[in-house]
Structure 1
Amino acid sequence: MIRTFTQDDVIRYVYHETSEEESKEIEKAMLCDAELQTMYKEISGVKNRLDAAQKAPSDMVVNNILNYSKSLNLLSNK
């Protein structure tokens, strides 16, 4: 019998947080359930976009922080 999987189950599968047995069950269920396949593709796509998101501050932000730090240093020397 193929069990019903929730969105949470698919998210855990995408992030490799399922057991080997549960992963096999989800994969088997996706072969027969187009709705589950669609859910997997959408969640996987979101994960990929999150992973590719910018992870570093822009040069403008870094410069603002450095300038602010310099201004504090100048104030403490007076």
Structure 2
Amino acid sequence: MIKTFTQDDVIRYVYEETSPEENLLIEDAMMSEPELMTFFLEALELRALMNKIERQPRKSTVQNILNYSKHHSANPPTRLRHS
């Protein structure tokens, strides 16, 4: 039985979610299918670009969190139970 590999398989390969056996089969498929190899190279490039993204919260968001924490205790008193 011949296994046909898809772009989903290539993405799994890029993110190292495939077994060693699958790796060999996917690598063989990419060598024989130029479209799959092109997709692989593009996926690698996108992964590298996404790894460079740094997200920072706005200063106002940080300030809102700090203001909230000043006015709300982290350990509120427990309520007494009525018997």
Q: What band does the TM-score fall into relative to the shorter chain? A: 0.5 to 0.7
Q: Structure 2 counterpart of 1:42, which letter?
A: E
Mapped pair 1:27 → 2:27: yes
Say which one has the larger Rg.
2
Matched residues, number: 72
Query: Structure 2 CA distance, aligned partners of 1:31 and 1:2?
Result: 15
User: Percent identity between the aligned chains?
Assistant: 51
Q: Identify unmatched segments of 5+ residues in structure 1.
A: 73-78
Shift of 1:17: 0.3
Shift of 1:66: 5.4
Decide whether the 8 Å contact of 1:2 with 1:29 is kept in 2.
no
Specify the alignment match of 1:76 in structure 2.
none
Runs of 4 or more, structure 1, over 6 Å off, are: 67-70
Higher helix share: 1
Q: Does 1 or 2 have the higher relative contact order (CA < 8 Å, sep 6+)?
A: 1
Decide whether the 8 Å contact of 1:5 with 1:26 is kept in 2.
yes
Q: What TM-score, normalized to structure 2?
A: 0.64
Shift of 1:20: 0.5
Mapped pair 1:15 → 2:33: no
Query: Structure 1 CA distance, aligned partners of 2:66 and 2:2?
Result: 58
Q: Identify unmatched segments of 5+ residues in structure 2.
A: 72-83
Distance 1:19 1:3, change over 3 A: same
Superposed CA deviations along residues 19-60 of structure 1, whole A, max 9, x for unmatched, are 110011001111111001011011111111111111333557
Query: Structure 2 CA distance, aligned partners of 1:26 and 1:2?
Result: 12
